[in-house]
Structures are given as structure tokens and as C-alpha cells.
Amino acid sequence: MSEALAVVGEAGVDDLTASALLAALRDRKAVEDRAAADQLDLAARWADLHPPESIHLAAAFTTPGSEHEEPIAGDGCPLVAEFCVAELGAVLGISTTAAKKLIGHALELRHRLPRLWGQVHAGLVPAWRARSVAEATIHAVPSLTREAAGWVDDQVAAAAGKVGVAQLDRLLAEAIKRFQLAAPDPAADPEDGYLHVDPRHVTVHDQDVHFAGTIHVEADLDLADGIDLDHTLAHDAATQKALGSTETLDVRRAKALGNLARTQTALDLSSGGRVADEERGGVSRPDLPILPAAREVVLHAHFDADITSEGTVFGPTGRMENRQKLLLLEQLQTWCGDSRTKVTVKPVIDLNHNLTAPGYEIPARIREQVILRDKTCVFPHCTRPARGCDVDHISPYDHDAEAGGRPQPGPTRSDNLACLCRSHHRLKTFTTWRYQMVAPGVFEWTSPHGHQFRRDRSGTTQINPMNPAEPEPPARP
């Protein structure tokens, strides 16, 4: 223990002078950096104990929307068994994805960035800074060879790791150019590059919702389409102003784009319908097909409730089915006021009621109840939404039980079903991870090495933070 820490232990924090406080903070930061460096070393050693052949496939990152996978570390690093990562993450209190990053960074530094790895363990570079470099070299596009990563390592280590994001980007670009890793880009040809790539796209960034309830949309359109769209938005914005709107031009153009989207899918042109009401000269068009509503909003009536002397008092907000967003009453009133919006309010489901069904197949009503009860994958620290998860029989269903005259050990019943994302469903199926439901929505997990975790609606807690039956590994000198 350093002198400053010893002073803190003897006198107490309240009695320290300003100088002693600064010295104590400096020493605590040094202890934190040392612990972070040790954690990288231990994560790499954990990987050494679990090559893919020992358990299953190699761990990798999946790319959303495709079957492509990215390795957790670059070329030249050893592969790691897929299922060993989850236990490390659970013990550290982080997600499986975060544990993959920790192991990947440790292996990248040890095998492809050895000078930076040495500086981390010598206390010259903090672990977080070295990990940012490892993250960049692992996911560089195109991928860096071991020689190219080594060149980046030399440049970064020469500056003791003190490189910013912009400098690191320039180093990666120089490495790609120096080692001729980039394939020729036919689209870069000023003469006929446009023949090789079509840049048109429309991207709606619906995962990044602003607190004001807006999302970002970007697009590259055909020239004629872009001009037509601009004229349409300008006309609609002018119409809104003529009807009395006092909003800014940008706001009116944004609303015009929404109006354009809804108009194309929600004009009432179906059998017996009208383009508009009688005052606007609507006409019947029974010959046209039925078109879907422009916007469909699915609501679940989920509110926190308290029992008081005055009765049951419900909370002010509900939860929206699409992407689990909170919903305010004002937004709902706005949507309901638009005749082209289809609003579906689903009935309240008793999440504590134990529903059952014969056979292995899970009926829609039970599946819906389990999804709403669990909200996310129930594996420790996993946050994947339950709507995209598998519904797992906690105790496996025995398809031969009835024919053999045995009682069914894994019935299709609410208290034997739980939501697991595909990765953790495979983990439960192919490894010795086990779990049980101890109350509706409350699960207790046991890892292959005996660590136990409780997962409920508030998150994950470790049941036995320290395992006395297993000695701690000696500290690294």
C-alpha cells in the first residue's frame, strides 16, 4: 500500500488536506489502471484455456441483417470457444457481447500489438486507451494483416499510446495503403465509376430516436425523383401555411414528407370507400384494391399500479410494442386523430397466471404472455428484446413420454417457458449452463463452474459473489 493510501486508512478521508486528497486520488487511479491491465491478462489466459475444439465453434460477432460474422480478434490471434465467453461476462457483470470485446481486445494486444501490450503492463499506457486501438485494428476495413497491425503498433507505441481518434484513423489508412490491402475501387473511376455502383438508398435510423420523438432519415435519389420530391414537399408546406400553420418551413416540410408517405398507402380507395369526404368532392372507386393503413401502432396496456385507500392508481405512461418505446398520452391522441392511422390496443394479459397447453407447440396466447412477462432474453445481463427471442422449455419436453407411459417432465406451461435469444438458447442446449424459474419472471442460473445468478425484471445479481470452494488465482507479478 502506498504512503498516501496508508494515510487515508489511518486518518480517514474527512481529515485529509487538499494535497493528501490529490495524492490519494492519484494512487487510486494507479491501482485502477493496474487492475484493468491485469483484467486484460486474465481474459487472455481464460481464452487460452478454451480453444474451439474443447467446447464448440469459435466465438465471433454477427452482423445485423446478414449471415456475415466478424472474428473477435484479428488475423494471427488464436480462436476462442464460443460458449466460454458467456460465463466470463456473467461473472464480470457484463453482457456476452461486452465479454467478447474484452477477450478480443486482450488477444489483439497480446498477439498483434505486442509493444502496446507491454506498455500497458508496464503502467505506461492505460488499458482503456490500448483497447481503443485494438478495437480499431480488429474491425479495420479492409482487414489488417499481422504485418500491417504490427506497423500500427510501432507507430502508436512510439507515442506511448497518446493518439487521438483522427490520428488513429490516419494510421489505419496509411497501413492499408502501405501494405496494399485495399482492392481497386471501380466506382472511383471518374469516367465510368457510376456504372459499377448505384448510390441510391433511403435509410431510416429508427434505432436512434431523439427525445423530442423524431428520427433521422437520409437518402440518395435519382435526380428527377429528388426534384419532384422537393416540389411536392414545397407545395405541401405552402398549403399548410395557407391553412394557418405557424410552424417553421423545416417543420412543415418534415410533416409534408409524412403526409406524402401516408397518402400513398392510406387513401380510402377501397370498395365503397371515398378519396375524401363529401365536402372535398370524394368519389367512390369500387374497382380499386384495398390498401393497408398508412401507419399501424400496436399498444400494450402495461402500467405500474398501486393499491391505495382510494382504489387502484395507474402510472402515467404505457409501453409501445414497436421497439419497446415509452408512449405518452399526447402522442396517442395525435395518432388517433389521424383517420389514416390504425391503432390497435391489445388486451391486458395477466402475466402471473399459469397458462398451459397440451403437446410441444406453444400457442400464440402463451407465447405472448411469456414475451410480455420476460421483456428480454432472461440470460444474465442479456438485453435482447424478447420479441425476437426463442421461447424455451426450461425443463426439456420429452416427445416420447406419452408413448412410454411417463409423466411429461417439460410441459408447455407458463412456469416452464422463458425467452432466450438464439445465442443463449444454444448455450443452454449444448453446455452445462442450467436455470430454473423460482417465481414468475424470476430465474436462477448456474454456470459450468458453479457461479449462480438471479435474473428478474430489475436486472441480474450474483447469488454467490465469491466461490470459497475454488481458490483465487495468484496475482500476476
Q: pLDDT tens digits, residue range 192-216?
A: 666 667 778 898 887 777 777 788 9
- Predicted local distance difference test score (pLDDT) of residue 308: 58
How high is the pLDDT of residue 5?
A: 53
Q: Inform me whether the pLDDT recorded for 447 exceeds 90.
A: yes
At residue 177 the predicted structure's pLDDT band, cuts being 50, 70 and 90, is very high
Q: Report pLDDT for 184.
A: 73
Q: pLDDT tier at 84 (50, 70, 90 boundaries)?
A: very high
Give the pLDDT score at 337. 60
The mean-pLDDT minimum among 134-138, 192-196, 338-342, 393-397 falls in 338-342
Mean pLDDT lowest among 26-40, 192-206, 227-241, 370-384: 192-206
What is the band of 362 on the pLDDT scale with cuts at 50, 70, 90? very high
210 vs 330, higher pLDDT: 210
The per-residue pLDDT for range 337-356, each reduced to its tens digit, is 655 566 666 665 777 889 99
pLDDT exceeds cutoff 70 at 288: no
The stretch 291-318 carries a mean pLDDT of 54
pLDDT at 411 > cutoff 50: yes
Residue 4 has pLDDT above 50, yes or no: yes
3-state SS string for the chain: CCHHHHHHHHHCHHHCCHHHHHHHHHHHHHHHHHHHHHHHHHHHHHHHCCCHHHCCCECEEECCCCCCEEECCCCCCCCCECCHHHHHHHHHCCCHHHHHHHHHHHHHHHHHCHHHHHHHHCCCCCHHHHHHHHHHHHCCCCCCCHHHHHHHHHHHHHCCCCCCHHHHHHHHHHHHHHCCCCCCCHHHCCCCHHHCCCCCEEEEECCCCCCCCCCEEEEECCHHHHHHHHHHHHHHHHHHHHCCCCCCHHHHHHHHHHHHHHHHHHCCCCCCCECCCHHHCCCECCCCCCCCCCEEEEEECCCCEEEECCEEEECCCEEECHHHCEECHHHHHHHHCCCCEEEEEECCCCCCCCCEECCCCCCHHHHHHHHHHHCECCCCCCCCEHHHCEEEECCCCCCCCCCCCCCCCCCEEHHHEEEECHHHHHHHHHCCCEEEEEECCEEEEECCCCCEEEEECCEEEECCCCCCCCCCCCCCC
pLDDT on residue 192: 67
Percent of the chain residues topping a pLDDT of 70:
71
